[in-house]
Amino acid sequence: MSKASLLCQRQLLQYLADGGFYSGQWLAEQLGVSRTAVANYLNDLKQHGLEVFSVKGRGYKLAYAIQLLDASKIKAIQTMVKAPILVQHITDSTNCQLLQRLEAGHIVEPGSVIVAEAQSAGRGRRGRSWYSPFGANLYFSCYWRLEQGVSAAMGLSLAVGLAICRLLQQQYQLDAKVKWPNDIYVNDKKIAGILVELSGTLDASCNVVIGIGLNIGMPEHSKQHIDQPYTDLRTESMQQVDRNNLVVELQRQVVNVLQDFAITGFAPFVAEFNQHDLFENRKVTLVSKLPISGICRGVDKQGGIIIETEKSTDVHYGGELSLRAGE
């Protein structure tokens, strides 16, 4: 999409964002384009998960009001962390965008963030897709640098998970839990996921890109794309969520954790994690090379999951963790 078309699409959304009806003719006149162009812009947005209704004689409306991300508003309230926040309209993946900037040799300040209204190729852990409907959630990636190398990143996703838990507790009074190693749950339903991507060597400094997908107001049709129980911030908090404030607060919480983690590693976070452990003292199965079933006993100082079986208590650093069937 050309820069001019992108600008028109954003202006169109600014009119429709309140959730009211607007005629196609009126929208076309405001934008200085044809009614066909208006319809095409909206069809493109539908492809990115935005629910748009068209009613003969009344015009177009969104299924629900949305708040667009606003770079100027974000900058105005960004007082605690000075690293920039870049707002994108629709992108492939905010993680990919940060990684591409690093690969191209751009200087990226630690703590810098990219957010987007929608992702066409959002990614989760182990190559899974991350459903990213337009304007519904938060798609957020933050850059950091670990001078001690890749090996120093053990437990990083858990520490970032605690940053999200802190935010949800402080801003929305939600008791969030971390599902080892990279998901956040509220009331036993997934509300956020974390994807940490590293570029570097074991013993030299490395680049870290931390992607966070946080559900804010999932559209009804999301059920067709997600195969597990999920929830969102609007449902759990029962309040409207200011996405621009949320971006700034998430950056602050994540950077605070990263600053501490860079100095101490994960060890000082162990007690806090164990307070937020979704599967604490529950019967679980860890699927790795071979399934291991036992009782979850928290994590060690490097973020490994501790599982007590009938034969022994061992620490594991990889795999997929779930409740044992029937529990």
- Which residues are tagged catalytic? 125, 190, 324
The structure tokens listed for 291 are 């399934």
Measure Cα distances from 1 to 14, 24, 82, 305 in Å: 18, 21, 31, 46
CB distance 27 to 37 below 8 Å: no
The structure tokens listed for 153 are 């990143």
Cβ within 8 Å of residue 90, ≥6 positions away: 48, 116, 117, 118, 119, 120, 134
Q: What is the per-residue DSSP string for 218-265?
A: --GGGGGT--S-B--HHHHHTS---HHHHHHHHHHHHHHHHHHHHHH-
Q: How many Cα atoms sit within 13 Å of 51 on the Cβ side?
A: 12
Q: Is 114 exposed, middle or buried (0-12, 13-18, 19+ CB in 10 A)?
A: buried
Task: Strand 283-287: give its sheet, edge to edge.
Answer: 313-316, 305-308, 292-299, 283-287, 320-323
3-state helix, strand, coil in the chain (%, to 5): 35, 25, 35
Phi, psi (deg, nearest 5) at residue 294: 180, -160
CB distance 52 to 42 below 8 Å: yes
Measure Cα distances from 5 to 9, 33, 53 in Å: 6, 10, 21
